[in-house]
Chains A and B, each alone.
Chain A
Amino acid sequence: MNLAHLHLLMNHVPTVGSVAALGVLLLAYVRRNEHLKHVGLELLFVIAVLTLPVYVSGVAAQFQLQEVPEVSRDAVMVHQDAALIGFAVIEFAGFVAWLALWQWRRHGRAGQGLVPVATVLLLLALVLMGRAATLGGEIRHPEIRAADAAGEPAGDPKRFMTSAIGQVAVYSTWVWPAAEAIHFLGLALSFGVLLAVNLRILGVMKRVSFGDVHRLLPWGMLGLGANLITGMFFFVGQPGQYATSDPFLWKVVFLVIAGANFLYLTVFGKAWPHREGAVFDAGVADKAMAVLSLSAWLAVLYAGRMLPFLGKSF
C-alpha cells in the first residue's frame, strides 16, 4: 500500500465522519440529551484530528499522480484548494468542540453558544468537504464531471491558493523564519503545559486537584494551535519537502496519537475530585495515558527536528 492508496481509504473520514457527528449532535438537540451532545463533540474533535493525515496523504498522492499523463494538473489543484479550505474549517470546528468539552469538564456544562457554534461550523465543514470530495472524485472520474466545467481554460497556476502560499514560502525573506520562531515558541508552551498536567497524573503535586491543573490546558491548546497553523504553512508552502519524507509521515502518526491523547486529558475520569484538598492518586490506566502523552509529544518533536537528517528535507 502506498500513500495514494491510504488517501483513497481515509478520504471518506471527513465527509462520512462529519455526517455521523452532525447526526449525533442533531439527535442530541431533538432528544435534549446532554450525554449524546458530549459524544457528538468528542466525535467532531476526533474527526478534526484524523483529517490531518487525510490532507497530508492527499498531497503525497498528488506527487504520485504527477507522472500520470491523463490526469489534469488543474483538476488536482482545484481539489487541493477546496480540501485546504475544508481542512481549515473542520480544524476550527474541532477547536470549538474542544473548548466546549474543556468547559464541560471544568464547570459541568459547556459555555453558552459554544455547542451551537460547533454544530454550525461542522455543517459548514461538511458542505466544504463534500465539495472537496466531489472535486477529488472528478480527478479520476471524468464521467461525473459537470458538462460545463469540463472545458475550463488553463490559466496562471498562481491563481490557486495553495500555489500562492508556496510563493510566499519561497520568495518572502522573513515569513518562513518568523513562522519557524513561532513554531518553536508554540512547542515550548504546549510542552510545558503537558509536562505539568502529566506530571500531576504521574504523582507530582498530589495535593493539587486535577481540576486545578486542567485549568492550564487551553494554554497548551494555544501552543498546539499556533503550531498547527505554522506547520500547515510549511507543509502547504513546500509540500515537496514533507509529503514524501518518512520522518514527516511518522510525525503525523504521532500527532494523531498525541491529539487523541489530548482529548483524553481534557475529558477523562469521574475519579478526579473537582475541588477538594485531599491527596488524590490517579489510576494505573491514567498514568499509562500520561506516559503515552509525553512519549508521543517527544516523538513528534524528535521526528520534526530530525526531518533534515532522517529524511531529506532541506
Chain B
Amino acid sequence: MLSWLESTSLAVWLQESPSIWSLPTVLTLHTAGMAVLVGASWVLDLRLLGIGRSIPLSAYRWVFPTLAIGLFVNLVTGVLLFVKNATTLGTALPFFVKMLLVVASVATLLPLRSLVIRGGSEQGEADGRARLLAIASILAWTGAVTAGRLLAYLIV
C-alpha cells in the first residue's frame, strides 16, 4: 500500500519534477499554512491567558474561518508530502508523533470554538478550564511544529 502510494504518478512528479510548482510550492504552502493555522491559534490562546484581555472574546470569531483555511491548505499539502515519501514516513515513529500532536492541537480547537461562539467571559479573565485548554493548545502546536521540522533531520 505504502510503496504503491509512493509509485503513483503524483508521487513521482513530486519526487522528480524540476518544476518550481512541484515540491517547492507544496512545501512553501505547507509552511504558509502552518503560519496561519498555528499563528491564529496562538493569538486566541494568548487572549485566554490574559494577553489582550480588554478585547471581547467574541471579537475572535475571525480566528475560526482563518484556521479552516490554514487547516485545509495543510491537509492537502500534507497528504501530498506524505505520498511523496510514503514508505519512509509511514513506518517512522517521529511522523506518528507529529500526527498525534496535530490531532491533539486540532482537538483543542473545537471546545475553544464553542467558548468563543458562546461568548462566555466577554472581557477580562477566562475561567480555569479555558486557560487549561489554551495551555494545551500552545503546547500541542509547539510539539507539532517542532516534530514536523525535525522530520527533515530524523528521517526524510
* Residues of A participating in the B interface, judged by any CB pair closer than 8 Å: 177, 180-181, 184-185, 187-193, 195-196, 199, 204-205, 207-208, 212-213, 215-216, 219, 275, 298, 301-302, 305-306, 308-310
Contact = CB atoms under 8 A, between A and B. Distances in A.
B141 to A, nearest CB: 7
A205 B20 CA distance: 37
B35 A188 contact: yes
A41 to B, nearest CB: 24
Contacts of A219: 46, 51
Most B CB within 10 A of own CB, among A181, A190, A298: A181
Given A181-B150, A205-B59, A196 B38 contact: no
B149 interface: yes
Given A180-B149, A208-B59, A301-B31, A192 B40 contact: yes
Contacts of A275: 54
Contact of B66 (A195, A212, A310): A195
* Closest CB pairs A-B (n = 5): A192-B39, A309-B24, A188-B38, A191-B35, A191-B39
Interface in B49-99: 51-52, 54-56, 59-60, 62, 66
A185 B24 contact: no
Nearest to A206: B59
Contact of B142 (A185, A196, A207, A310): A185
Contacts of A191: 35-36, 39
Given A184-B146, A204-B62, A205-B62, 19 more contacts: A177-B153, A181-B145, A181-B146, A184-B34, A187-B31, A188-B35, A188-B141, A190-B39, A192-B35, A193-B43, A205-B59, A215-B51, A215-B54, A215-B55, A275-B54, A298-B32, A305-B24, A309-B20, A309-B24
B89 to A, nearest CB: 17
Given A196-B43, A305-B27, A185 B51 contact: no
A288 B45 CA distance: 28
9 contacts: A180-B152, A187-B31, A187-B35, A188-B34, A192-B35, A192-B40, A208-B56, A305-B31, A306-B28
Contacts of B35: 187-188, 191-192, 301
Most A CB within 10 A of own CB, among B54, B55, B62, B142: B55
A216 B49 CA distance: 12
Kindly state the interface size class of chain B when it binds its partner.
35 or more
Contacts of A212: 52, 54-55
Contacts of B36: 191, 195
Contacts of B52: 212-213, 215-216
A310 B25 CA distance: 11
Nearest to B22: A309
A216 B51 contact: yes
Given A177-B153, A192-B41, A185 B27 contact: no
B31 A199 contact: no
B59 A195 contact: no
Contacts of B40: 192, 195-196
A301 B36 CA distance: 12
Most A CB within 10 A of own CB, among B35, B54, B148: B35
A139 B13 CA distance: 50
A193 B28 contact: no
Nearest to B37: A188
